Amino acid sequence: MSAGDPASLIAAWQALAGRHDLPWQDTRDAYRIWLSEIMLQQTQANTVIPYFHRFLSRFPDVCSLADAPLDAVLQAWAGLGYYARARNLHRCAQRIRDEHSGQFPAQPETLAQLPGIGRSTAAAIAAFAHGVRVPILDGNVRRVLIRYLALAGDPQSTAMNRRLWAQAQAWLDQAPANLDMQAYTQGQMDLGAMVCTRSRPDCSRCPLLESCAAHRLGQQDSLPSPRPRKAQPQHQVWLLIMEYQQQLWLQRRPDTGVWGGLWTPPLLGSPAALQTVLQGLGQPDTVALAGFEHVFTHFRLAMQPVWLRLPKAAPAIQPSWQQLPAGKGATARNPVLIDLDAGQSSWTPLTALNGLGMPAPVATLLDGLYPAAAAL
């Protein structure tokens, strides 16, 4: 087809006006490409860049990542959120080390079978690292295609997903055999991030302006159709910071759910649960610290830290605490509200806190608390 096909137009536009200074560009290193693609899921590039540099300095290749303990990986990831990505990153690195001799497969179908790598991410890795001619469909590309075709309806529905994948493949089918897959793949991402943005798209800069149905119909600001918004619930938890002889009692969160696999002080789901624990400890003196709120994608978590310093006698941490009633709204899908899990808990020296993977708000709280506590 002529140079006016959408894929060729996007590749040419990327060469002239796209992003060229991202730290994971201009490389065929599948490890760096994979790492950036996983970090960029649900996270904007400007946020990812410093994490990407720090992560690479700590884990310069896939085998160093595979050999590292999970806690070290979670600690390096802390602050990026969606911690299942970090756990899958570690599992994927181990699979590549053990099953692929430390080399990323070139075939997108094989890549998609690895932990944390879906169809679009596999395609992006294959295109960037090996020039494989395969379509992608990340959030930016999805938005571009919906506007290009002026498709109304739930942008995440199964029917919409099938239609968009078909169109993404059609663009490749129409493109010439010598299409630059790196420029085209990056160009689709850049177009959605820089021009065809969620709000106030800059249509005058778009290489697809003449053939975009949404622009022709004046619908570029109303598409994609908004998904029905649900009220964001708030949950209350009590964060029990127990100190004993320069140690903290910490628990590893369940692998599934909020802060999965990270270490936190016990999270108690109700005042009654807190009182039960305090009674079991002989009603020690407590200090209620300033509460704070942490916002997740689907709910807000109001956290009330309670700090207590235990006496010299080592306390008996009771397994029965894990049977305490959770707070209102606790379900199997909200394990953040499940009370103390004594089976995954231990006394941890304050000097070892920096070596643990912790949620960013909890790490910030403890960093601020213990310089002050040392002076008491």
Pick the range with the lowest mean pLDDT from 176-180, 182-186, 225-229, 341-345: 341-345
Q: What is the CATH architecture of 234-373? A: Alpha-Beta Complex (3.90)
Q: Residue 39: how many CB atoms within 10 A of its CB?
A: 23
For tokens 């994979």, the residue is: 34
Q: For residues 57 and 281, what is the distance between their CA atoms, to the nearest angstrom?
A: 44
Average pLDDT over the chain, rounded to whole?
Answer: 87
Asked if 136 and 37 count as a contact pair (C-beta separation under 8 A), the reply is: no
Asked if 88 and 41 count as a contact pair (C-beta separation under 8 A), the reply is: no
Q: For residues 161 and 63, what is the distance between their CA atoms, to the nearest angstrom?
A: 35
| Nearest alpha carbon to residue 56 among 98, 91, 104, 24 | 24
Question: What sign for the dihedral angle of Cα 290, 323, 337, 373?
Answer: positive
For tokens 């302006």, the residue is: 209
What does residue 75 show for φ and ψ, rounded to 5 degrees?
-65, -45
pLDDT tens sequence across 49-94? 999 999 999 999 999 999 999 989 998 998 888 888 999 999 999 9
Q: Annotated active-site positions, please?
A: 37
List the chain domain ranges. 6-217, 234-373
Does the domain at 6-217 match CATH 3.60.15.10? Answer given as no
User: Both tokens of residue 233?
Assistant: 């619930």
